[in-house]
Structure 1
């Protein structure tokens, strides 16, 4: 029986972290066990396993068709599951690649348009983090994030070259992004984006605009521009349930 490392978090979270590490180490190349298999291996309930796999599916690391056992997502384009709180850092790292960032800006600014989206006044001071995101040193996305500066100043001292923003936000500021909304559209890359991502002219990209919520209130505005050849939207649907989130 596999033993989980002791910790303060819930059992499903520790199980999830262990499975994520095993995926990154390539342990499941021959096949990923189903819920029964993981429950027996770790000595936990199937409910705990389901909770652990839910986020892994949302991150695109594990997929499962109806009636089939989960499997590790195939290499190639990263899958954006509809309806999921998606982490690019975890998705890239979990696929066995190293996610790094070239930080282009980490400073306090003002932006009336962003402040309005957050439901705040135009003079709101914002922490702006701008990065080029890479997978195994290959440019993948251009990412801009704005957060209220008064509640996120500890992030100004963080080295964002190899870490997840949401992890740092939770650990250093006590803030958790728990949901929100996204708008996703196809576009042609402008010249600065083509240069940052090493794309030809013309080049198609996918633009993702996110409004993240913390404790039910708008807290994050994010704009991510991803290479279209590295990005896939994933969803499942049925006649009874309509569309529902899935990763593949």
Structure 2
């Protein structure tokens, strides 16, 4: 019988949804599903792999995040053209994004509130319209110190996504999956600042410590803002990597 050390050293099998991702990725690379065609339905994939629908959906999310497919409610999942803008969320190559969209533990609170005049202007809304404020810290697995602090304002129309935030899925992705409203534009701004007192306390920093803020505004095709977020990182834990390619011709 293997001892505890042997058991601990044994490699873990990949998560079930990862097996589906790799199988479908091979199919895409081999041209089983050409660009512009649709993947089999969730039900068909469930039967093919013998896995739950939730597992299939998780695999399709990863394929979407990698820019390999696109999805729209009522239209199925379509194979994307290589280099498609479907992967725009990660086009900057920002290492901070690896934190935001990974499966980190999120200690957050949700509150319904009406914005003041300044915030209403940023949200392009009225002061009597209620929005959801989601605020908290993200923690790496097994860590007691948070990696970063997040505050996001979400249009009340999409309140259902808050039930699934603990899964680590980006809110824009949940909006698309649950409501079929595709986020077509994300405006992103990065700047340095002094940490607000309450944020510094949550991140274990001295008051006024140097931090990096990444602000994002998410819009759907109609131009309407559906989400406004602010992520604050300790200055000494932030890095940025950008790859530039010369355009053909």
TM range (shorter): 0.5 to 0.7
Higher helix share: 2
Q: Distance in 2 between matches of 1:53 and 1:173?
A: 18
TM superposition shift of 1:198:
1.9
Q: Does 1:163 align with 2:168?
A: yes
Q: Does 1:79 align with 2:95?
A: yes
Change (3 A) 1:154 1:213: same
Q: State the TM-score, normalized to the length of structure 2.
A: 0.58
Change (3 A) 1:110 1:87: farther
Residues 229-238 or 115-124, more deviating: 229-238
Contact 1:114–1:146, Cα closer than 8 Å, also in 2: no
Q: Name stretches of at least 5 consecutive residues in structure 2 with no aligned partner.
A: 1-21, 26-38, 43-58, 67-79
TM superposition shift of 1:17:
2.9
Q: Distance in 1 between matches of 2:188 and 2:60?
A: 29
1:109 corresponds to which of 113, 125, 134: 113
Q: Distance in 2 between matches of 1:203 and 1:230?
A: 13
TM superposition shift of 1:19:
11
What corresponds to 1:64 in structure 2? none
Alignment length (residue pairs): 180
Q: Name stretches of at least 5 consecutive residues in structure 1 with no aligned partner.
A: 22-46, 61-77, 81-85, 242-248
- Alignment of structure 1 residues 99-248 onto 2, 5 Å: 99-103=104-108, 105-112=109-116, 113-136=118-141, 137=143, 138-149=145-156, 151-156=157-162, 158-164=163-169, 165-200=171-206, 203-215=209-221, 216-236=223-243
Q: State the TM-score, normalized to the length of structure 1.
A: 0.58
RMSD, matched Cα: 3.7
Tell me the SS of whatever aligns to 1:132.
strand
Contact 2:152–2:228, Cα closer than 8 Å, also in 1: yes
Higher strand share: 1
Largest Rg, 1 or 2: 2
Higher relative contact order (CA 8 A, sep 6+): 1
Contact 1:114–1:221, Cα closer than 8 Å, also in 2: no
